[in-house]
Structure 1
Amino acid sequence: MLFRATSALRRTAVRCAAVIAVTAVVGLAGAPPVAAAPVTPEALRWAPCDDTDSLGAECATLEVPIDWARPDRPTFGLAVARREATDPDARVGSLVFGPGGPGDSGVERVVGGLSRFSPEVRRRFDIVSFDPRGVGRSNPVMCSDDLLAQRPSSDLESQADFDATLAYNKRLRADCRARTGPVFEHLDTAQTVRDLDALRGALGEARLTFHGSSYGTLLGAQYAETFPRRVRAMVLESVMDHSVSSTRAFLRSAAAAAQDSFGEFEKWCAEHSACALHGRDVGRAWQGLLSRAERGELEDPKKPGIPLSSSDLVNAVAFKTLYRATYAELATKIVEMEASSPLPAAPASASSLPSAAPVFCADWHLPVRDHQEYVSLVGMMNRTAPDLPRLLPLQMTAACLGTPTANPQHRLEAREAPPVLLSNALHDPATGYPWAVSVARQFGRSGVLLTYEGQGHGSVTRGPCMERAVDGYLTDLDVPVRGSRCPAVPS
């Protein structure tokens, strides 16, 4: 799940979060693969997970190098979990799930249940996932609570604010590095690609069967680029395009995807009496709430007496429901907030920078020269997404200012891979459809795009058409016909 709003972290893992899906300087060359000597992983030692509600999930730890360029140096433990195939006699092998975020826990995904996968996939595959390096139980990023509490606002009003943010980011990186250890300098997806290949070997699989979702699609695509002949089957669901060439281009595409989904919400309300705003001007009602939030007059529904910031209104209320395409829920929330009593006017609450996202910043070069350019980017995003100001991609841009990038954007070179199935909704607020089209083209003849003609972030289990296509590809390597599309189903 890309660019989610997250809570502040407490001396535990800094969850590299963000809800949306920031990017690079024009003309960055492709990052070369990490040079590494062969490493023979030990077989995984499975045991019941410690979680009391794991319901049969098994856990293990895989030792991998901190830096794959120096595999003889110290290692850390990569946390892994699995649920075995429900029909052992029909088992195909292991399917590895690449979690999103960045910062999502694959172990939690497996331990907590496997609703993302169809009954047929559950029947035929052991479902395996892991906590990527720096996340959850895999040497999590640790940072000072006090320093995190000092995060500046992303509403940079002057060059002095811009310079102060650069200085803060530098202090935070140093603090997190000191508390986390050397893994902090090796959190990029190019390193995780090597972890994934070690996991494939430890599972005893000659070739990898992989399902990556959202940020996990970046991992899958770079694995196919690095080890094309080690791929058996690969599903990339809700696709990130790591070739976007500039900060402005990335922010524009992110804003356009979000605004497109808000437009779908407006259309749904116009057509369905189940919408609590049916027959009304949805945009006007929403803008009224934004104005109240800007003035500090809109009460947070979850915190009586506390104002809800415009950033939280956009990212935690609207974007969360656009992710799931639960439009009736969003309409009802808008009506309920409209009816709430206004709080006494107060200075507009500023949005804080999201918690440090070291994985994200290690994968995306986010150059902004100065405050003047930052203001220009804000204006461009607000024109592109007038209903959704202060989207998290802009906040992530500020959070990554001045951060070195180990794995910058580049066009894929993965044309030697077997057929790779890409899946995307036409109206995805986080990973817009044009990204999936672009990545499919970068794969060349290897890229096959399956289009879900609906809304929301995530699509592989959206109705029988999608399930049949994905299940047939994973289990029997039946590749859908190019240009295949599946109709939208009600949320």
Structure 2
Amino acid sequence: MTACSNTQESQQQHNEPSDAQSSTAELQRYYQQSLDWENCKSYTTTPRSEELFGAEGLECARLTVPLDYDEPEGETAKIGVLRRSASDEQARIGSLVLNPGGPGGSGMQSAAARVSGVKSTELGGKFDLVGFDPRGVGASTPRVECLTPTEKDAARQNSEVITSDGAVERIERENRRYAEKCAERSGEKLLANVGTASVARDMDVLRAALGDEKLTYLGYSYGTLLGNEYASRFPDRVRAMVLDGAVAPGEWDQTEMQLEQAAGFQQAFDSFAQWCARQQRCALGSDPDRAVQRFHEITRPLIGNPASTVYDGRKLSYADAQTGLVQAMYTKQYWKPLNAGLARLANGDGSTLLRLADLYHGRAEDGSYSNMMAAHQAVLCVDANRIGGRQQQRELNRKYRQAAPFTDDGHPISSARGRCAFWPLPETGDKPEPRPGKLPATVVISTTGDPATPYENGRELAEALGGRLLTYEGEGHGVFLGDNDCVNKAGTRYLVELQAPEQGKRCSA
């Protein structure tokens, strides 16, 4: 374990928690622990992690934290941590801790995937790149587990239109059973403590174990909410934060989030349709104004009649066709395969759309799944305000369809409530209250064509944190450390020199 200071006294001083919530004697043993770094082979949980974790220079460890911070002497959780040490030890500043979003995303895999692009940069020279799997996720234990791979495959095959009272009752029974299985297979103690507030406290223990007096953090998407939570709880422990693809401050309401995402995905669909119309061949036709109609013509026949694929008898359901489209909206690099996939689907082959849906669900080619979506569901259900009765659900679905016409299945709007309505544990999420007066300058990056977190969210978060907004005029979800030099230079200068970009700075695609 390395530290900002060479003296043991300074190391211990850095490890002592100053936040009132973490100052009890019972937590000292967590803050004063050392990480035992080792080969990452035993930390792999998916074929993707097996591929990534063997890269040169990576090492892994497990961080011990209380399963319930109100019972620090009780059960513990082990948090999987991965790092690639700074290449220039003399210039090293500290650790750059990364969270990729989700919730449910693996920070270990995300950090490992970024090493090749970062190691030769100034950030790679001056920071240890650190990713962690939040409690319940990936290599961390205990893990959130809800369905077996076979059960997940079966659930994705359902394309029933839920309009009759009988269908609503049946779907709600399935959703209730899903919630029960999560509790049975994960344990209620984990599900009760898997929320963002607990993860933020884990992150402060990690900061101390890494030997950093203050946290330098990079969060994408949901990771911006986690960063906001940390900054609200531990403002005096923040060195620098880059928050890319913002969840609006105080917004952890399922209705508002879903409607904002619906509008964002429709905007991305419209951009895709305009791009597609300029191609030599476009599956949605040459008129972007008719793209939604053409999409309906291609996908609605899947309702009750899934399409064949080349994947061992698997078929493409209507639900997976929608999911495949959504996956492709996150980044323009998927637009070409989406166009080709829609053309193939129009001819009866759903293979490409199914593969895109697999990416969204975390399904590998061998049929195994990451637990990303199970953890996502668990965090959402304890953090966010839940939908109440069926009438509220029907009204949400109506507004969602209105905001995103491509999702219209052509049938009456359903009132079947989702899984969180039947979650066996209460909501536990505390809404973070930013304290900008105690924070150093933070940088929020917001993309004008972001399908998942609308641009205005970034403006609101930057204002709430008293930070700087960096605008990226382009498409996609999460841009820092990608291909845009303007964004990368501004973000790097801030993280290294603590020089935030000027107010109102904009970067073009």
Alpha-carbon separation, structure 1, partners of 2:416 and 2:454:
18
Alpha-carbon distance between aligned partners in 2 of 1:401 and 1:304, rounded to the nearest angstrom? 35
1:453 to 473, 478, 502: 473
Please give the secondary structure, in 2, of the residue aligned with 1:222. helix
2:134 counterpart residue number: 132
Counterpart AA for 1:320: Q
Q: Would the alpha carbon gap of residues 408 and 303 (structure 1) be closer, same or farther in structure 2, given more than 3 Å must change? A: farther
Q: Is the 8 A contact 2:393 2:417 kept in 1?
A: no
Q: How does 1:414-453 map to 2 (within 5 A)?
A: 414-443=436-465, 446-453=466-473
User: What does residue 10 of structure 2 align with?
Assistant: none
What residue is the counterpart of 1:288 in the other structure?
Answer: 297
Aligned length: 439
1:399 aligns with 2:412: no
Find out whether 1:268 has 2:275 as its counterpart.
yes
Q: Structure 1 residues 472, 227: CA separation in 2 closer, same or farther (over 3 Å shift)?
A: same
The equivalent residue for 1:57 is 58
What letter is aligned with 1:266? A
Higher helix share: 2
Structure 1 residues 429 and 476: alpha-carbon distance in aligned structure 2, compared to 1, 3 A threshold: same
Specify which of 463, 486, 489 is matched with residue 507 of structure 2: 486
Structure 2 residue corresponding to 1:201, chosen from 204, 208, 212: 208
Helix, strand or coil for the counterpart of 1:400?
Answer: helix
SS of the aligned residue for 2:62 comes to: strand
CA contact (8 A) 2:81 2:108 kept: yes
| Structure 1 residues 300 and 401: alpha-carbon distance in aligned structure 2, compared to 1, 3 A threshold | farther
**1:322-381 CA distance string (max 9 Å, x none):** 111132332222222223379xxxxxxxxx9x75721121111222312x3322222211
What is aligned with 1:10?
Answer: none
After superposition, the C-alpha distances for 1:363-404 in whole angstroms (9 at most, x for unaligned) are 11222312x3322222211111011348xxx99971211332
Change (3 A) 1:377 1:144: closer
TM-score by length of 2: 0.77
1:261 alignment partner, SS class = helix
Find the counterpart in structure 2 of residue 44 from structure 1. 35
Indicate conservation of the 8 Å contact 2:249/2:464, yes or no. no
* Distance in structure 2 (CA, Å) of the matches to 1:300 and 1:250: 34
Match of 2:489 among 455, 468, 480: 468
Equivalent-residue separation in structure 2 for 1:215 and 1:389 (angstroms): 27
Structure 1 contact 452–466 (Cα < 8 Å) conserved: yes
Using structure 1 for the length normalisation, give the TM-score. 0.80
- The answer to whether the 8 A contact 1:97-1:210 is kept is yes
1:330 has 2:349 as partner: no
| 1-structure distance, mates of 2:193, 2:445 | 29
Amino acid at match of 2:131: S
Contact 2:178 2:419 in 1 (8 A): no
Three-state SS of the structure 2 residue aligned to 1:335 is helix
Q: Please give the alpha-carbon distance, in whole angstroms, between the structure 2 residues aligned to 1:74 and 1:429.
A: 40
Which of 365, 375, 378 matches 2:394? 375
Q: 1:257 aligns with which of 261, 264, 273?
A: 264
Q: CA deviation at 1:240?
A: 1.5
- Asked if residue 386 in structure 1 is aligned to residue 405 in structure 2, the reply is yes
Shift of 1:120: 2.4
1:261–1:198 Cα change, 3 Å: same
Question: Alignment partner for residue 185 of structure 1, among 157, 177, 192?
Answer: 192
Percentage identity across aligned positions?
31
Aligned to 1:339: 347
**Residue in structure 1 matched with residue 12 of structure 2 by the alignment:** none
Query: Where does 1:57-206 land on structure 2 (aligned, <5 Å)?
Result: 57-114=58-115, 117=118, 119-139=121-141, 140-143=143-146, 145=148, 156-158=162-164, 168-181=174-187, 182-206=189-213
Q: CA offset at residue 442 of structure 1?
A: 2.0
The offset of 1:480, in angstroms, is 0.5
- Label 1:396 to 1:254 Cα distance change in 2 as closer, same or farther (>3 A): farther
Contact 2:235–2:438 (CA under 8 A) maintained in structure 1 = yes
Which residue among 206, 223, 228 is the counterpart of 2:230? 223
Contact 1:274 1:328 in 2 (8 A): no
Q: What CA distance in whole angstroms lies between the structure 2 residues aligned with 1:54 and 1:115?
A: 9
Q: Unpaired segments of 5 or more residues in structure 2?
A: 1-19, 42-49, 351-360, 362-372
Question: In 1, are the aligned partners of 2:135 and 2:199 still within 8 Å (CA)?
Answer: yes
CA drift at 1:138: 1.2
Maintained 8 Å contact 1:36/1:71: no
C-alpha distance in 1, partners of 2:313/2:37? Answer: 49
Provide the rounded CA distance (Å) in 2 between the counterparts of 1:278 and 1:155.
Answer: 27
Q: Which amino acid aligns with 1:74?
A: E
- For residues 504 and 114 of structure 2, the distance between their equivalents in structure 1, rounded to whole angstroms, comes to 32
Unaligned ranges ≥5, structure 1: 1-32, 343-351
